Structure formats: C-alpha cells, structure tokens
A and B are shown apart, each in its own frame.
Chain A
Amino acid sequence: MAGVRVLVGTRKGAFILTADGTRRDWKVDGPLFAGWEMYHLAGSPQNTDRIYASASLGWFGQQIHRSDDGGTTWTPVGNEFTYDGDVGTHQWYDGSQRPWEFTRAWHLEPSLSDPDTVYAGVEDAALFRSVDAGRSWQELRGLRCHESGPDWQPGAGGMCLHTIIQDPRDADRLHVAISAAGVFRTADGGKTWQPANRGLNSGQIPQPEADVGHCVHNLARHPARPDTLYMQKHWDVMRSDDDGASWYDIGDGLPTDFGFPIDVHAHDPDTAYVVPITSDEQHFPVDGKLRVYRSRTGGGEWEPLTHGLPQEHCYVNVLRDAMAVDRLDDCGIYFGTTGGQVYASPDAGDTWTPIVRDLPSVLSVEVQTLP
C-alpha cells in the first residue's frame, strides 16, 4: 500500500514521520542530528531512498548529510560552500556595504531528473549546485553577481535564498526567491539571471514597484501548468500566469495577506493554500485561530479550513518551508508550527489532525509519497 514519509526539520533536530496511505497512524522517528538546527530535508523525486539534509549550528557551521536508505542511516557529505570569484558586497541593515559571507544552507532542492544533482539556497544569498550527490558544491555565480547584487539587503531572518523552483519542461530553467531581493529566473542553467518581480508592490522599499528589493517569502508551482506560479510575499499573495514575467494580486478574501508558506494541490493547479498571519509585527494567526486558507479558483476566493485546528488561544507561526503536499489521490497536506506541532490533513485540507504536538520549533516540512 502506498504511504508517505514526512521530513521535519526543527531548531533542535530532525524527525521522520511515516504512515500508510490512510495517514491515520503515524510512526515518529527522531530526533536525528539532535541539537542541530535542521533548516531543511528533501528527498529526490527520482529515488525516494535518497534524502538530503541541511544541519547547521552557530558554533560549528554547516553540515550536509545524505541518506541512501530513506533516512535510516546518514553520511556527512560536502560542507564547503565557497563563493566563486570576487565576493563583492551587499547592503547591510544599516545601509552600509558588507561582504557576502556564508552562514548556512536554508533550502535543498534535489533535481527533478537526477538523484545526484541537488541545489542549495544559502545565506548570504547565493545558489550552489552539487552534481555528485552532495560531495562537492559549486556556486552558480551569475546570480550573486547580478548587477543588482550590491542593492540586496537582508530581511529579518537574514539575506537568504530560500526558494528554488524547477521547471519540469527544461532543467535549465529555474526560479529562485531571495529575502529581500525578490524573484530571479534563469533559462540557461544558472549562467544568467533576470529579476522577475513585475507587478509586485512593496510599501517597505523606497520604490514600491522596483525591479529588485521585494521580500518574497515563498513560491509554488504545479507541474501540470508550469507557467503558473503562486507567491506569498511579505504582504500580498500573488500569481503569475506567464512564468514569472508579471504578477497580479490574488489575496482578496483573506483575513490578512501576510504569511510565509504557499503551496498547490498535487492534482489541481487551481487549488492553492496559504496560512495567513496577522502582520509583519505580529507573527501569529489572526484572533488566535489557526486557519489554513484554500482557494479552488486559483486565488481571489478563499475558504478557511479549521476542522481539527485550534480555534482559540493559538499564537504560533508557520514558516515558509513548513508546508507541503503529498501526491496520493486525495492529496494530503501537512504543516509544522513554531510551537512544535505538525498537522496532517489526508483530505486536501478538509480535516486536520496533529501527528505530533511537542517538537522543537518547526523550520521545514517536506513529504515523500512512497510507492
């Protein structure tokens, strides 16, 4: 029987949650890498036994681990992320220029087609790629060396490249999102990059419609309609129907359009999910009610999903990489909170159940759909 494996990264280790296709009874393994900040774990779409994990600590820096048996055993692989060539500078919080300095890998994105190829989005913002299953990493320097690079500045969480979206039609086409620079896309495998932020409007920067400088929180794409992209921005939920060339607002109907994660139903490109958060100053749900919002119309109309979620006294957050969907017929959806809960819905969001309640603060949630 098909099943799922949920990969959970937390502030103090990783956990692997597994269930059969009913997604009712869960086995919880962990903590793995106890004590390490696990920004992200991600499995290869080509080989579900192959999982990559990013572990970091302020004391000891970055580690990348790889499993080739579905997370039972792990091997540390390459941890050297060296910017290629002249490091250059970017804008710091106080407006001064500061040299790029590697801090950690926020996001790992295994290739859609090759289990040995994996991308890493890092802080300070840059994109690295490994083609030897994580043993060595090479920067795709065209992104960091974009002419706008000196104007990029950190968001509150650091200047991070946190989202990597592959195009199922062409492995050379990628979108990335950087806080706070915005979206960039390449059509030549990362050699050259163009900003893809037309239509964004951010009141927190001097020129609200500037090409670069937007605090994009997360992107999502459905493989069956790859020209459509969804975006959760610092404020605003946005959509593009032209591969990111332009964006329009789809946030009408939400209680607030501030939030972090966004995702798309596995089998319906018009069904999207967000978790509205009160504001940039209040990173918790509106009125203490934890509600996922679902649009079945590609945005613009949203319905709250509350069954099984706390509807009073709830003041957790859901971070940008902490929501994911499985690919079973009825599309399970999962998210983790800064309060350590991981919720699962086996029915596309209609009902929710906590798999675990008391983990460390959850940084990331990914799902593998098992044969």
Chain B
Amino acid sequence: MTEPATTTAIRVHLPTHLRKLAHIDDGELTLDVPGTVTLGGVLDILEHHYPVLTGTIRHHGTDRRRAFIRFFACEEDLSHEPHDTPLPEPVVRGTEPLLIIGAMAGG
C-alpha cells in the first residue's frame, strides 16, 4: 500500500485581475502543495488547478517570471530567488501568505 503524499496547505494572495480571470471570489486561496514547499512548486500547483493562469505569472515554455510580477512573503522580496528555493517557514506553517503582486509599473 502506497503512503499518501504529504501536502502542505499554502495561503496564496493573487492580484485582482488574476482572481477575476480564474473566478476566485475570495481575496486569498489555499493550495495543498506536495513535498518541500518551494516557490516553483506552489506556482505549479496553482497553474494545475487554474490552467487559465498559465502564462500570466510565468512565461509559457521557459517558466521565467514575467517582468512586472513580484513574489513577496514575510516582508521579503522573493522575486529574484530560484524557483526551487524553499519558502519561508511562516508560509509553510500557514501563518503568512505568499503574495503574488503586480509591480508598481504604471497602469
């Protein structure tokens, strides 16, 4: 018998445009992320559950962060961290959300 994969509930905050696009009514959603919780792992699960968001945060094909997207958590800017970097412990514990933000770039 296979052990069920261990998952961690991660709180994620999305910009309004993306919440509307994905029909997410609440300001924050919770994703069950398997294994070690990394930024890339959270984005993989997010795009798996909401395929319409594919290409909106990371570029198709390369998974490179779009230029005007920022990732914040625990008052730290994680935007330039490798995607396999584990997220901060408060995010993993669920006491802090991962913030996906549209950069202040006009508009």
Tell me, yes or no, whether B60 is within 8 Å of chain A by CB: yes
Q: Which residue of A has the minimal Cβ distance to B101? A: A59
How many of A's residues come within 8 Å of B, CB to CB? Answer: 13
The smallest C-beta distance from A37 to any residue of chain B, in angstroms, reads 9
The interface bits of chain A over 141-185 (1 if a CB of B lies within 8 angstroms of the residue's CB, else 0) are: 000000000000000000000000000000000000000000000
Most buried by B among A59, A63, A80: A59
CB–CB B17/A60 < 8 A? yes
Tell me, yes or no, whether A203 is within 8 Å of chain B by CB: no
The smallest C-beta distance from A178 to any residue of chain B, in angstroms, reads 23
* B-chain residues with CB within 8 Å of residue A17 when the two chains form the complex: none
Could you tell me the distance between the alpha carbons of A58 and B106 in the complex, rounded to whole angstroms?
Answer: 9
Tell me whether A76 and B69 are in contact in the complex, defined as CB-CB below 8 angstroms, given that A35-B17, A59-B103, A59-B105 are known contacts. no
CB–CB B68/A59 < 8 A? yes
Could you tell me the distance between the alpha carbons of A131 and B14 in the complex, rounded to whole angstroms?
Answer: 32
CB–CB A59/B66 < 8 A? yes
CB–CB A60/B18 < 8 A? yes
How many of B's residues come within 8 Å of A, CB to CB? Answer: 21
The interface bits of chain B over 45-67 (1 if a CB of A lies within 8 angstroms of the residue's CB, else 0) are: 00000001011110111000011
The smallest C-beta distance from B12 to any residue of chain A, in angstroms, reads 15
Tell me whether A60 and B66 are in contact in the complex, defined as CB-CB below 8 angstroms, given that A35-B17, A79-B55 are known contacts. yes
Could you tell me the distance between the alpha carbons of A60 and B105 in the complex, rounded to whole angstroms?
Answer: 12
CB–CB B55/A59 < 8 A? no
The interface bits of chain A over 66-104 (1 if a CB of B lies within 8 angstroms of the residue's CB, else 0) are: 000000000010011010000000000000000000000
Majority secondary structure of chain B interface residues (helix, strand, loop or mixed): loop
CB–CB A76/B107 < 8 A? no
Tell me, yes or no, whether B15 is within 8 Å of chain A by CB: yes
Q: Which of A36, A58, A61 is close to B55, meaning CB atoms less than 8 Å apart?
A: A61
The smallest C-beta distance from A30 to any residue of chain B, in angstroms, reads 15
Q: Which residue of B has the minimal Cβ distance to A11? A: B107
The smallest C-beta distance from B68 to any residue of chain A, in angstroms, reads 4
Tell me, yes or no, whether B102 is within 8 Å of chain A by CB: yes
* A-chain residues with CB within 8 Å of residue B60 when the two chains form the complex: 79-80, 82
Q: Which residue of B has the minimal Cβ distance to A34? A: B20
Could you tell me the distance between the alpha carbons of A58 and B17 in the complex, rounded to whole angstroms?
Answer: 12
Tell me whether A58 and B21 are in contact in the complex, defined as CB-CB below 8 angstroms, given that A79-B55, A80-B60, A82-B61 are known contacts. no
CB–CB A58/B56 < 8 A? no
The smallest C-beta distance from A85 to any residue of chain B, in angstroms, reads 13
* B-chain residues with CB within 8 Å of residue A82 when the two chains form the complex: 60-61
CB–CB B17/A57 < 8 A? yes
Q: Which of A35, A59, A79, A80 is close to B69, meaning CB atoms less than 8 Å apart?
A: A59
* B-chain residues with CB within 8 Å of residue A57 when the two chains form the complex: 17, 107
* B-chain residues with CB within 8 Å of residue A59 when the two chains form the complex: 15, 17, 66, 68-69, 102-103, 105, 107
Tell me, yes or no, whether A232 is within 8 Å of chain B by CB: no
Q: List 30 A-B contacts (CB under 8 A).
A: A36-B17, A57-B107, A58-B67, A58-B68, A58-B105, A58-B106, A58-B107, A59-B66, A59-B68, A59-B103, A59-B105, A59-B107, A60-B15, A60-B17, A60-B18, A60-B21, A60-B56, A60-B66, A60-B102, A61-B55, A61-B56, A76-B21, A76-B52, A79-B55, A79-B56, A79-B60, A80-B55, A80-B60, A82-B60, A82-B61
A residues near B (Cβ < 8 Å) are: 35-36, 57-63, 76, 79-80, 82
What are the 4 closest A-B residue pairs judged by CB atoms, nearest first? A59-B102, A60-B56, A59-B68, A80-B60
